[in-house]
A and B are shown apart, each in its own frame.
Chain A
């Protein structure tokens, strides 16, 4: 009896010990990810990867709510300049004090570099792989065209930050940034600023060919008009005024009827989640549901007047009082700012909470969905910018007549009393620049403008030196105008060099 038991026991032992789980037991896969290899297998997957980049324009980076995608980037670039006034020691204060961009380990310094190169990498996967995907050729063209725009636009944004300015007239051999056309973990060297711009144009030109005549799903996608508008924007940065004027005009004329300037009532009503229906927007991130909105990192969580975040309640953003005072009283844009901070002229469907602190010249240009919903569409390109590019470029070429004419429709849309400018020369340029500064306030242009024009930063009016750490003047051309390359890049990339520290 016992022998039988023993035998059973031993057979059991042997069978269990020799039993093992099949190798599949050790194969596990995530439910919240897909294999990278699948991305360019079909155009459906490639569409999803392109949509991922569209979404990436309004998500949080660096784990901090001050780094909420392109909207935050615009705030950074705006509040380093003189037209954007902060009212309290709050988010972005190190940016405002000109410390962040010169501190290579600070997340505000790393934020644009890392974000834009992520988009470039995602775009490269599509640019280099979508042609092999299974699916309609039109889809491939549109996907690749948009990916090319992302690649060009991203490099364009960061070269303006991390390199010396593009000097009009050429000779731009100064170190630019790595222009990434292939994805590789190997560190790449900086190429010259000239080469970066050459590549930007090549990518935009390729995109224009692919996208010409192609429809788009909505304004969070880019079409050929966006590519043309970017050509004009880039050329303006390069000081290639004839090119800029031509492309701005073409972008406008070739899209005839597709876009229109906002009327005064719409403008007064504020920038909201209305980019799809509003004809002035050429390209915008549209945040159509709250689930896709990062409530505290969103553009509207800092730039709107009515959202209830501690950032807005304590530190609503103001316009430079000196700039404001240059506006004609009949200009609708005067209504976008409250001189005494009480906002008596809010659109009827908007109200402020008692906890929203009051400061002079605070903006109501941007209006979030409600005090508990921070959504505001992030404007990436508006029709008025094309008029402004053309006007500025013509004026800088000395073509006062065409410049004034280009400015007129846009200026008149904002101020019914406006008449064709009789200014000439520098006075006309100054007038156009005032229009540009006011029109694009909060949209991420002014610091780039100062840098491309090699102008001093002069903060006066309602800027508080204590909040600015006494950074009230920065002479043009100094090392402070060049962001430091993030330390994380230097640490991992032997091929790259830091910008001068002093």
Chain B
């Protein structure tokens, strides 16, 4: 460590004292125009080659620059135009015409601690620019990433307004540690909540995928990095941009189909009857008696009789619905629970920004407001954002700037947090039998029982069965309870940049993030967990993070040799404070603050600290813009590890070769680009594990009565160190015929020293210990292709598609097998291979569920031999096996963009081929019993009589455990295609808008418009592990909007 610091010092001193400073300069001036229309181009960057000295053309496209001695070339660059290098040849006036760059090779992309030209970049990165998402009604920037970059795998958007989508870059790199990418906002690792960032303030997001591009983030980069860059002022006079949109939100995926009340009663009658006697199997006399008993008593088991016939006349003793039964009173209209929690959602978004730049100062100032109501009642998200980015070129050698962002948000969470919570509205309505009223109805007449004011009253009593959430009432509870999340995020960053000795630039960045979270939670005193006293909780957390770095850049060209060296140091600290309390028994109604309650339930606070520090260097070299080589190194320390293992070394090398620049290819004029690149490197991961991962601890707070208590929490893990990710990447980038462009890429990344919470024998008293045992690889092929199918002056049609494959496999594990829910980890298998009981269908003789038997003995009554298969009707004896995987064979997206004059239309489909979902939600509505719980329409295909060939077991309330056991029965094809988003816009020409506007565009935009998958209601993309649960189903959003620039 010390040696490294010394080297940097020596290097700097050598440069300082050894360099000759002779000021023989030359002044150059000129004008830059565009080849397309010959119009002067403001904002073009003009740089003396091999130095950091440069200027930007003014509004008339003019520049003037003092060029240091020894510099022979000027470099002219502008986004979307081909960069030109012009020999100075002692001229003092140089005019340049820039040509459009269809390949975007000179496009500047944001990289770790700097920028690079796309054409010169040796790593694997994809940049998503604001044009890709600025018209979309998205409230979280993660949404903008879906489908836009090959190799990026995302979960479905949660319908809760403001929520994030989870993202995986190139597979699943970790197990116990986090597999999420690192988010970096304007160069600073982001520890806040992503929904505090206004997408309208974002200029671009760059997904760094391989080690060569991420290695400089050392210990945080193993699972990829997403660089988020906020907008800056562009050259020219100040421009005011106003964007206003408004729209509606609704449910994107409809609910599973479930049977209605007239089908429900006979089905449940049958479930009851079969528990007594089964026709065709049991004695006919017993069946007759059972039929009668079921008819007599079924209403008692279900609790409610919504029909105008006597309780024992609802289902006749042949099992059929009484034909004269009709809904009585309000029963006909009062059973739509799903309707009761559904609302017409709305979305309004306002963004105003003012930006511009002179040759000394650029500025971007914005305010934004979002107000979104979800499709479930009492779910919403309001956000106010403000941002100011100002950069000042104070002198020709000193630049500084400040960036400040502030966000305040307020979200109503509608109890959607816990999937199995009683009042999760999705679970509650999905599983509610179709016979239960929302309001109190008179049992005899079915008329509403009104209160003293003549209002309907919610049915909050315990008359339903427990399977129909007895005693709970989702509509009342959502309306009467509170669950409000408020966040305040303050981000401030400043920097100083000093240019010296013509080749050097020193930058120091200092940033602070403060994130405040405040949750107000209240359960009413009438129904639910708060009843009868009422209870309230408050949680307040604060997250302060500070990042401080110093970067030294050296840029030099020697003839055809171009060199760029970066050295730096960075320190990061995070402090997290939590204060929470809860009390019960409300005193005065209407006030839910804790002071208005009697009994303390909970009161706690704690603080956590996490720090990291790193030293790093990178060297970029290129020869004549044909060969490119990059090497980088970082030494990084983290407070999560014991002092002996605290520091890790990370590195990468990368190279690229632009073949189309070579003489042997230049003859083939149809080849616009042919670039080979490859990289290898090692990065680390310490995310997602405990802040004090190595420490042996007893937990505080285990007090008994008035005596303090502590309790064993975890064991020492002194040997714990970084999880390392060793990734290899090779790619070819190509461009043909000026129309077809793409990248074909292969990667193989090995996660080694996997951070595992290695399960210990429970008999040792401690569940697990953090250890670095395990190896896993992810491997895949990514193809991105963009084709300009039609390109005329008026009409353009571009098709952009990406295809990704993923193979994930363990090659080493801490123990032979680890069962993780429906998955089992074993060497040779993936992170998400299903390990399930093998479903073998239904016995046609008696409707029993069948599984492949695990243990067989002659005396067992549960065993059935069928051909060469030994089957069992006892799910406890079912044999487990590996069946399929949640990981799809192929996934990606394709986007069509059309433009005709001012019109533009683009829409994106995302898709997935292969993989399986284990549809627990479907399982929950397919029980063969469970009085009161709803049933899917597939239940109508159940076994009914000997000889029936079906895959749905007989209804039987006493055999539910065997019938509905988690098994391969619930595996469902996960392939899907989703019309994820569509945007249609019209840009008015300058002729129409005249002088009052520099631009006017109107648009309509939609999200989640159409989904085709194997089962209606199934949320295929809910999570990476392929399970479904009762989450807030994604929203469909339509908006119309206008964007004006003044």
Interface residues of A (CB under 8 A from B): 2-3, 5-7, 9-10, 12-14, 16-21, 23, 25-39, 45, 47-56, 59, 88-90, 94, 97, 99, 102-103, 105, 110, 113-114, 117-122, 124-125, 177-178, 180, 183-188, 217-218, 220, 286, 288-293, 295-296, 308-310, 313-315, 353-357, 370-373, 465-466, 469-470, 486-489, 491-493, 496, 501-502
Contacts and interface: CB of A to CB of B under 8 A. Distances in A.
Contacts of B643: 23, 26-27
Given A17-B550, A37-B696, A295-B601, A10 B500 contact: yes
Contacts of A217: 707
Interface in B757-781: 758-767, 769
Given A26-B646, A28-B611, A314-B470, A33 B8 contact: no
A49 B958 CA distance: 46
A470 B466 contact: no
A18 B762 contact: no
Contacts of B531: 308, 353, 355, 371-372
B699 A187 contact: no
B546 to A, nearest CB: 12
Given A17-B8, A26-B637, A493 B699 contact: no
B698 A36 contact: yes
Given A28-B691, A36-B697, A55 B569 contact: no
A35 B695 contact: yes
B762 A122 contact: no
B931 to A, nearest CB: 7
B760 A492 contact: yes
B501 A6 contact: yes
Contacts of B472: 310
B179 to A, nearest CB: 22
A39 B466 contact: no
Nearest to A373: B599
A373 B598 CA distance: 12
A18 B8 contact: yes
Contact of B711 (A89, A97, A122): A122
B3 to A, nearest CB: 12
B854 interface: yes
17 contacts: A10-B504, A16-B508, A16-B569, A20-B5, A21-B571, A55-B703, A59-B702, A125-B712, A185-B764, A186-B761, A292-B704, A308-B532, A355-B461, A357-B463, A465-B958, A502-B855, A502-B877
Nearest to B874: A502
Size band of the interface chain B makes with A: 35 or more
Given A17-B552, A51-B707, A220-B704, A33 B698 contact: yes
Contacts of A90: 466
A55 to B, nearest CB: 4
Contacts of B960: 469
Interface string B689-723: 00110011111111111111111110110000000
A491 B571 contact: no
Contact of A218 (B705, B765, B877, B929): B705
B506 A290 contact: no
Nearest to A36: B696
Given A125-B712, A185-B761, A27 B639 contact: yes
Nearest to A19: B569
Interface in B1-41: 1, 5-6, 8-9, 12-13, 15-16, 21
Nearest to A217: B707
A410 to B, nearest CB: 29
Given A118-B712, A502-B857, A183 B12 contact: no
Interface stretch (B479-487, B653-661, B815-823): B815-823
Given A36-B715, A188-B763, 10 more contacts: A9-B506, A13-B12, A14-B12, A25-B639, A29-B609, A39-B710, A89-B465, A180-B764, A288-B706, A356-B462
Nearest to B568: A17
A51 to B, nearest CB: 4
Contacts of B527: 355
B50 to A, nearest CB: 18
Contacts of B702: 51-52, 55-56, 59
Interface string B330-362: 000000000000000000000000000000000
A110 B762 contact: yes
B957 interface: yes
B961 interface: yes
B498 interface: yes
A102 B611 CA distance: 46
B92 interface: no
B465 to A, nearest CB: 7
Interface of B: 1, 5-6, 8-9, 12-13, 15-16, 21, 272, 275, 301, 397, 422, 460-463, 465-467, 469-472, 498, 500-501, 504, 506, 508, 527, 529, 531-533, 535, 550, 552, 567-569, 571, 573, 584-585, 599-603, 606-613, 615, 637-639, 643, 646, 691-692, 695-713, 715-716, 758-767, 769, 815, 817-819, 854-855, 857, 860, 876-877, 929-931, 957-961
Nearest to B603: A291
A13 B550 contact: yes
B572 to A, nearest CB: 10
Contact of B470 (A39, A118, A357, A469): A357
A187 B710 contact: no
Nearest to B932: A89
Nearest to A471: B958
Among A9, A26, A217, A355: residue with most chain B CB under 10 A: A26
A486 B712 CA distance: 21
B708 A30 contact: no
Contact of A18 (B9, B504, B818): B9
B876 A103 contact: yes
A361 to B, nearest CB: 18
A88 B468 CA distance: 12
Nearest to B6: A18
Given A110-B762, A114-B762, A501-B855, A30 B12 contact: no
Smallest CB-CB A-B distances: 3 pairs: A121-B765, A51-B709, A372-B533
A114 B767 contact: yes
Contacts of A502: 855, 857, 860, 877
Contacts of A125: 712
Contact of A52 (B461, B710, B766): B710
A99 B877 CA distance: 12
A117 B763 contact: yes
Contacts of A6: 16, 21, 500-501
B465 A88 contact: yes
Contacts of A313: 462, 470-471
B197 to A, nearest CB: 27
B961 A97 contact: yes
Contact of A310 (B5, B466, B815): B466
Given A5-B500, A34-B700, A125-B712, A469 B759 contact: no
Contact of A355 (B462, B639, B713): B462
Nearest to A10: B16
Nearest to A53: B711
Among A30, A99, A220: residue with most chain B CB under 10 A: A30
B825 to A, nearest CB: 10
B761 A28 contact: no
A372 B877 CA distance: 43
Contacts of B501: 6, 10
A91 B552 CA distance: 63
A30 B461 contact: no
A43 B1020 CA distance: 56
B958 A470 contact: yes
Nearest to B613: A21
Among B6, B691, B765: residue with most chain A CB under 10 A: B765
A19 B584 CA distance: 53
A290 B602 CA distance: 8
A404 B858 CA distance: 48
Among B5, B710, B758: residue with most chain A CB under 10 A: B710
Contacts of A120: 765
Contact of A470 (B275, B469, B639): B275
